Structure 1
Amino acid sequence: MNSVLQLIKKDLIVDWRQQNPITGILLYLASTIFATYMAFKGFVSIEVWNALFWIILLFTSINAISKSFIQEERRSHYYFFLCKPTEIILAKLIYSFTYLFCIALISLVIYSVLLGNPIINYGLFILNMILGCIGLSAAFTMVSSIAFRSSNRSIMMAVLGFPVIIPVLILSISNSFKILDSYILVQIQGNLTALLSVDVIIIALTFVLFPFTWKS
Structure 2
Amino acid sequence: MERIISLIKKDLIVDWRQQNPISGILLYLASTIFAAYMAFQGFVSMEVWNALFWIILLFTSINAISKSFIQEERRSHYYYFLCRPNEIIFAKLIYSFIYLISISIISLVIYGVLLGNPIINYPLFTLNLVLGCLGLSSAFTMVSAIAFRTSNRSIMMAVLGFPVIIPVLILSISNSFKVLDGYILMQIQGNIATLFSVDVIIIALTFILFPFIWKS
Provide the rounded CA distance (Å) in 2 between the counterparts of 1:132 and 1:93. 14
The AA in structure 2 aligned to 1:99 is Y
State yes or no: 1:23 paired with 2:38.
no
Shift of 1:90: 0.2
Residue correspondence of structure 1 range 64-103 to structure 2 within 5 A: 64-103=64-103
Shift of 1:108: 0.1
Q: Which residue of 2 aligns with 1:185?
A: 185
Provide the rounded CA distance (Å) in 1 between the counterparts of 2:75 and 2:189. 43
State yes or no: 1:13 paired with 2:22.
no
SS at match of 1:60: helix
Provide the rounded CA distance (Å) in 1 between the counterparts of 2:79 and 2:67. 18
Provide the rounded CA distance (Å) in 1 between the counterparts of 2:97 and 2:21. 17
Q: Which residue of 2 aligns with 1:107?
A: 107
The AA in structure 2 aligned to 1:2 is E
Provide the rounded CA distance (Å) in 1 between the counterparts of 2:61 and 2:210. 20
Provide the rounded CA distance (Å) in 2 between the counterparts of 1:186 and 1:117. 23
Q: Which residue of 2 aligns with 1:168?
A: 168
Q: Which residue of 1 aligns with 2:51?
A: 51
Shift of 1:80: 1.0
State yes or no: 1:36 paired with 2:36.
yes
Shift of 1:187: 0.2
Provide the rounded CA distance (Å) in 2 between the counterparts of 1:125 and 1:148. 34
State yes or no: 1:214 paired with 2:214.
yes
SS at match of 2:27: helix
Provide the rounded CA distance (Å) in 2 between the counterparts of 1:9 and 1:32. 30
Provide the rounded CA distance (Å) in 2 between the counterparts of 1:72 and 1:156. 17
Provide the rounded CA distance (Å) in 1 between the counterparts of 2:148 and 2:83. 19
Provide the rounded CA distance (Å) in 2 between the counterparts of 1:129 and 1:48. 17
Q: Which residue of 1 aligns with 2:126?
A: 126
Q: Which runs of 5+ in 1 are unaligned?
A: none
Shift of 1:128: 0.2
- Summarize deviations over 1:14-39 as a string: whole Å, max 9, x none: 00000000000000000000000000
SS at match of 1:128: helix
TM-score, normalized by length of structure 1? Answer: 1.00
Provide the rounded CA distance (Å) in 2 between the counterparts of 1:116 and 1:19. 30
Residue correspondence of structure 1 range 146-165 to structure 2 within 5 A: 146-165=146-165
- Summarize deviations over 1:76-102 as a string: whole Å, max 9, x none: 001111100000000000000000000
Shift of 1:67: 0.2
SS at match of 2:42: coil
Provide the rounded CA distance (Å) in 1 between the counterparts of 2:73 and 2:183. 46
Provide the rounded CA distance (Å) in 2 between the counterparts of 1:209 and 1:156. 16
TM-score, normalized by length of structure 2? Answer: 1.00
The AA in structure 2 aligned to 1:136 is L
The AA in structure 1 aligned to 2:46 is I
Q: Which runs of 5+ in 2 are unaligned?
A: none
SS at match of 2:119: coil
Aligned length: 216
